[in-house]
Structure 1
């Protein structure tokens, strides 16, 4: 009988703490489908969870991974909106996507055309959906406005830049010097965070400040992003990673910091975006937004950057790459053979 290969964190630590485990195939309950996973996204939350710094993750042993694409191969008795063979993309708000097979409620699934690249579609679900939520649901950004995007060559950052450009928004993006070409090609004006003060650079370009800023770091960095805003501007925090791997104290301090900044008499607003909880709270928005992103990808309006596609059993290599800080865009785990695989080879140039 076929087994299910999955990646498990048995104890906190470096990437070697990701281990392979083969179990029996999972069985969907009456409201679930079973998906043969094609691609699973690798995100910074996975890194923090493996290091023990992500309070939203289960305690070990657990399987990381929020986002995936796959093909439905079994359906629960009460599922009527999907069929065996459907190609689907989804966010699993409970983690667990580093796996060959996954059982999940059909509420979290959206179909995509099978001719689309599963790796590119996978990047929509966490990276682009987070960007979409922050731009349009949180900051209510409008054409002609200005924004500051940190880590503009990263997975969420590059998605923010692309979606903002489509909306007619002017973008300043921070990145290290070696990633400036990527930021420029995406359509943003780059700021070298290693050698330039991004607050000063923002005000040099836009003396009153930007309409919105998006910060994944927290702490003093969040306070400086606040200074880059114009009056009535919006700052959206979407992580408290700090300089390392987060932690309960870092997250609690970050939440308190957001509250304190909102008490200042500046008319600026600070919001927080945690996509998994947002998805569980508003499934209708989630499915509509993700469907819209799939259509944009299908029409060639967005172009996800996939820097590496790595076999599932080499998940530790994917984590090493992401932790190195040298990558751009998205790293994806290949969990099963892609349909029409020859059409989706050589992702490297996509990141160039």
Structure 2
């Protein structure tokens, strides 16, 4: 099988796996202790989590604190619901992940910011006068466009509003821009599933949204997994050390993929985007048939979180595509462990399958 779905999840880094095994050590070992216990094993586990916290924090802006969560969805909910005591409107870009859009809608007074055809959230539009929170992601998960987050952070500050950035697709791949709160997930940068983090800038207080044992500074109750946190920490460390090399490798893969699929239309900007995300369309394409014909190539017809809904992508609609054009689109994702041979074979099979539909 050829795996080309890096936006859905990334392969676990071997370094992260090795570190996790240390903290999954059962009978005869000492790595399985509860990090919230006062005895020696608990203190060892707690120390491992703090090392991981420092490694995760190293990819965020200086200052602030890292709160471990079960993933980005929980981090986003903690940020949005933990600041819900403030009255006012929540302004979110129309191409945010469902974790942001659905949470904003559930909290009421949700205002959607429009997006240009190139896939970037238009910074010239005004915020409602009572905006209390602005949420614009750094890199879109479906089309890979890099958003003008620095400008949106500035606009939020000028409006005396907080700024939340979903940096899931950016964290570990590029410098994460400033914000009041930033949500990330480990499994999008070669870490394990089931752990993420919310970064909160220094001086910002938010409320807990689930009650319990008061772990994670009273903001996120629940027993932490030393293995998951340690794996996240190593994945962050590896990403920081390899960021430039990974980006160079991915740019080469992008160039090869575009050469093979040169007569497909790219959705969103080709330049203002993360090149590990190639979202393409071909008019008249039967995507279901294409995926069946290329069943040994793992790519996507959209966001993994919404792929079973049957709904047209809200992201592609927001950038001006018709339902027909959106449903003729695919997403190819690649990264650190993708080889040039895999790109050549995988994209070649996709091209041949499209030709078999009479779409040369």
Using structure 1 for the length normalisation, give the TM-score.
0.31
Q: How high is the TM-score relative to the length of structure 2? A: 0.31
> Which has the larger strand fraction?
1
